[in-house]
């Protein structure tokens, strides 16, 4: 079978490839941060809601977490839109093709997200009729979110495997393919899931600080609980990450083991920062969060490099035609700054008014 790659869009890139790549990776990092809190948080919510009857700590955790998760879901979706836009601009030839091959599964993401989202709201509002079934609903939401993650890994790995496309499409055009044959599929997926648990652990520690004054005992226990998630997941990650690394094709893997110095430094600096985060986590949740955010940044760059290496010359974004729209870009950039200021102002107003007012009708 020949390797068939769709031709680039004749409209060309609306900005140089380097700028679009920066935007792609940067917005992807924001999306991943929110996604980590959602994915890990939904599992912790399921666990705590399930055990709410037997433990007061879990009951409170379930209640407090359930208020944050719909927001995490909304942020995950919203912050996912930007990288999805830029990936279609730069890598549409690969993204659309892989998506069509797994079309029904890819479309099911929408339904799974919708149901998981409503499930999270159901657990938050916890109407009386729900009763003990809240735990079941929370688990369903968590499993759906985990499934969505797996479908994204299928899409991401299939998108960077052009050699598989023609054979798959010749076998069936019904959009029922998945990428199970990919050796990196499972380690790559677990790499993301385990990272999500680690970040959620930090998120729980930060959540706990919000209750330090009002509920000191719970706050202390939640801090220990979050720390356990963070440390456990991060230690496990060293094994999972190594597994992922050795499953990469030889030519790709070697770039991260000294053949390409920049790639090697970026990856291993990320690992070192994660080790440092482990060391400071007990003393400072914020310090660990900053270090982990840096790790995620370096890992997102590494992920982008893996994509470039897999695609090679089948799809090299630096060779795509460029037809820049600078005026539009400037408008976007200005509006982005204004938008962030507006969002910042609103969030500040919200947290400034920390005490709920007795009545708004005064």
Among the candidate windows 6-14, 34-42, 212-220, 290-298, which touches other proteins by CB under 8 A? 6-14
Q: Which two tokens stand for residue 306?
A: 């893996």
**Residues in region 33-72 near other proteins by CB under 8 A:** 70-71
**Close Cβ partners of 349 (under 8 Å, ≥ 6 residues apart):** none
Q: How many helices, marked H, and strands, marked E, lie in the chain?
A: 11, 0
Q: Which two tokens stand for residue 237?
A: 């990650």
Task: Give the nearer residue to other proteins in terms of CB position, either 250 or 361.
Answer: 361
Q: How far is the CB of 23 from other proteins (least distance, A)?
A: 8
What is the per-residue binding string for other proteins in 154-173, x denoting contact by CB under 8 A? -----------xx--xx--x
Q: How far is the CB of 340 from other proteins (least distance, A)?
A: 8
Instruction: Quickly tell me which residue has 């979706």 as its tokens.
Output: 77
Task: Give the nearer residue to other proteins in terms of CB position, either 261 or 353.
Answer: 353
Q: How far is the CB of 114 from other proteins (least distance, A)?
A: 5
Q: Which two tokens stand for residue 270?
A: 């990320």
Q: Which of 36, 48, 49, 99 binds other proteins (CB under 8 A)?
A: 99
What secondary structure letter does DSSP report for 314? Answer: G
Is 101 a binding residue for other proteins by CB under 8 A? The answer is: yes
Is 74 a binding residue for other proteins by CB under 8 A? The answer is: yes
Q: Which two tokens stand for residue 176?
A: 């029922």
Return d(Cα 267, Cα 263) in angstroms, integer.
6
Of 288, 5, 306, the residue nearest 157 (C-alpha): 306
Q: How many CA atoms lie within 13 A of 110 on its CB side?
A: 4
CA 122 distance to own-chain centroid: 23
Of 157, 240, 227, 164, the residue nearest 198 (C-alpha): 227
| Size of interface with other proteins, in residues (CB under 8 A) | 70
User: Which ranges constitute the DSSP H helices of 102-215?
Assistant: 103-125, 134-159, 162-171, 185-209
**Residues in region 303-362 near other proteins by CB under 8 A:** 325, 328-329, 331-332, 335-336, 339, 342-343, 346-347, 349-350, 353, 355-357, 359-362
Q: Which of 121, 238, 243, 268 binds other proteins (CB under 8 A)?
A: 121
Residues that bind other proteins (CB under 8 A): 1, 4, 6-7, 9-15, 70-71, 74, 77-82, 84-85, 88-89, 92, 95-97, 99-101, 103, 106-107, 109-110, 113-114, 117-118, 121, 165-166, 169-170, 173-175, 325, 328-329, 331-332, 335-336, 339, 342-343, 346-347, 349-350, 353, 355-357, 359-362
């Amino acid at each position: 079978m020949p390797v068939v790659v769709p031709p680039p869009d004749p409209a060309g890139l609306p900005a140089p490839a380097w700028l679009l790549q920066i935007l792609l990776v940067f917005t992807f990092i924001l999306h991943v941060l929110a996604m980590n809190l959602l994915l890990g948080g939904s599992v912790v919510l399921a666990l705590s809601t399930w055990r709410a009857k037997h433990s007061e700590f879990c009951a409170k955790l379930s209640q407090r977490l359930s208020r944050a998760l719909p927001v995490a879901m909304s942020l995950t979706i919203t912050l996912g839109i930007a990288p999805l836009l830029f990936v279609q601009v730069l890598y549409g030839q690969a993204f659309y093709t892989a998506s069509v091959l797994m079309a029904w599964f890819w479309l099911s993401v929408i339904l799974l997200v919708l149901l998981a989202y409503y499930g999270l709201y159901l657990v938050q509002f916890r109407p009386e009729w729900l009763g003990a079934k809240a735990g079941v609903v929370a688990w369903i939401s968590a499993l759906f979110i985990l499934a969505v993650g797996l479908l994204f890994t299928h899409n991401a790995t299939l998108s960077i495997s052009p050699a598989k496309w023609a054979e798959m499409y010749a076998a069936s055009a019904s959009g029922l393919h998945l990428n199970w044959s990919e050796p990196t599929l499972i380690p790559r997926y677990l790499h993301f899931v385990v990272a999500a648990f680690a970040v959620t652990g930090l998120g729980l520690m930060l959540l706990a600080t919000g209750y330090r004054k009002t509920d000191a005992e719970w706050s202390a226990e939640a801090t220990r609980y979050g720390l356990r998630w963070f440390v456990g997941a991060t230690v496990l990650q060293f094994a999972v990450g190594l597994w992922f690394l050795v499953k990469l094709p030889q030519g790709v893997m070697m770039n991260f083991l000294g053949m390409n110095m920049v790639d090697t430094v970026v990856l291993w600096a990320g690992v070192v920062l994660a080790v440092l985060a482990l060391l400071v986590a007990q003393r400072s949740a914020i310090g660990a969060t900053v270090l982990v955010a840096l790790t995620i940044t370096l890992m997102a760059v590494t992920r982008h490099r893996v994509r470039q290496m897999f695609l090679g010359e089948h799809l090299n974004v630096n060779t795509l035609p460029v037809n820049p729209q600078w005026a539009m870009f400037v408008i976007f950039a200005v509006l982005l700054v204004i938008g962030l200021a507006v969002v910042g102002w609103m969030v500040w107003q919200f947290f400034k008014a920390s005490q709920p007012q007795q009545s708004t009708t005064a």
